[in-house]
Amino acid sequence: QQKVQQSPESLIVPEGGMASLNCTSSDRNVDYFWWYRQHSGKSPKMLMSIFSNGEKEEGRFTVHLNKASLHTSLHIRDSQPSDSALYLCAASPNTGNYKYVFGAGTRLKVIA
Amino acid sequence: DPKIIQKPKYLVAVTGSEKILICEQYLGHNAMYWYRQSAKKPLEFMFSYSYQKLMDNQTASSRFQPQSSKKNHLDLQITALKPDDSATYFCASSPRLGGRGAETLYFGSGTRLTVL
C-alpha cells in the first residue's frame, strides 16, 4: 500500500526564520504532490501543488520536487506565528482511481 | 461562506448506536470523498465517488456506508458505533476524480464524532 512519509514530525523555528519540511512517497506511480496546511481545529487547505521536477515559488513558500526519488520539500522563509500549523503532504498516482494519500504531517510552531 | 457544508459539527454517540454524517458541496464538483482523522492516525482515505458512483472503498468495515442521493451530496452512515470510531470525519470534493492536470481536494469543516 502506498505510503507517504513526512519529516520531521515536529519543528520549532523562530519568527523570521526558515522552515524546511520533507515528504517522500513509496509508490513509483505517484505523479502529483500537494502541500496542505491545517490550523488547529480547522480543515486542511491546499497550500501548493507541484507536478513537475524542479521548483515552484509563491510568496514566502517554495516547493521542490525530485520525481526520480519521489521526494518533495516545502520551505517557508520569514516564518510567522500564523504559519504555526500541521503541514500535510498528499500524493496521487496518475493511474487507477487517483486516490490521494496523505502523510502524517509535520507540526510547525513558529515562536515570536 | 463555506462551499462544502458538513453537519453536524459535533456529534456524541453511545456505543452500538447509528449516526449519519451529512455533506453537501456547492462547488459544482463531480467527485466527492470521505476522509477520517484521529489523534492515532493521519488523515485517512475512506471512500471516493464520481458522478454518484462509488469508485474506491478503503474502509475494512461494512459498518461505514456512504450514501449519495444527489450529485452534490455524499452522506456517511455509521452503524454499530465503537469508541474506536471517534475521529473527525472530513468530506472533500474535487472537480473530477483525477487524471492529467490532477485535481486539488477541497475539504469541508469536518464532523467531530465522539463515541462513548
What pLDDT does residue A98 have?
Answer: 62
Mean pLDDT check: name the lowest of A14-28, A91-105, B34-48. Answer: A91-105
Name the pLDDT band for A1 (thresholds 50, 70, 90). Answer: low
What pLDDT does residue B90 have?
Answer: 97
Distance between CA atoms of A3 and B52, rounded to whole angstroms?
27
Distance between CA atoms of B28 and B48, rounded to whole angstroms?
16
Contact residues on chain B for A44, CB-CB shorter than 8 A:
43, 90, 105, 107
**Angle ∠(A103,A107,A108) on CA atoms, nearest 5:** 130
Task: Report residue A83 as a C-alpha cell.
Answer: 504559519
What is the DSSP-derived secondary structure letter of residue A82? G
- A96-110 average pLDDT score: 87
Asked if B89 and B35 count as a contact pair (C-beta separation under 8 A), the reply is: yes
Closest among A103, A20, A32 to A70, alpha carbons compared: A32
Task: Look at B43 and A51 and tell me if their CB atoms are within 8 Å.
Answer: no
Name the pLDDT band for B102 (thresholds 50, 70, 90). Answer: confident
- B28-55 average pLDDT score: 91
Nearest Cβ partner of A99 from B56, B99, B104?
A: B56
Distance between CA atoms of B10 and B111, rounded to whole angstroms?
6
- Which residues neighbour B101 within 8 Å (Cβ) at sequence distance 6 or greater? none
Distance between CA atoms of B47 and A97, rounded to whole angstroms?
11
Name the pLDDT band for B8 (thresholds 50, 70, 90). Answer: very high
What pLDDT does residue B99 have?
Answer: 56
Distances (CA, A) of B36 to A43, A82, B43: 11, 25, 6
- Computed over every residue of chain B, the mean pLDDT equals 91
Distance between CA atoms of A104 and B13, rounded to whole angstroms?
27
Residue B26 CA from chain centroid, whole number? 15
Per-residue pLDDT tens digits for A55-100: 999 999 999 999 999 999 999 999 999 999 999 999 988 776 667 8
Contact residues on chain B for A32, CB-CB shorter than 8 A:
102
A46 touches B at CB < 8 Å: yes
What pLDDT does residue A99 have?
Answer: 75
Nearest Cβ partner of A98 from B43, B44, B102?
A: B102
Asked if B42 and A105 count as a contact pair (C-beta separation under 8 A), the reply is: yes
A28 touches B at CB < 8 Å: no
Distance between CA atoms of B113 and A24, rounded to whole angstroms?
31
Asked if B5 and B108 count as a contact pair (C-beta separation under 8 A), the reply is: yes
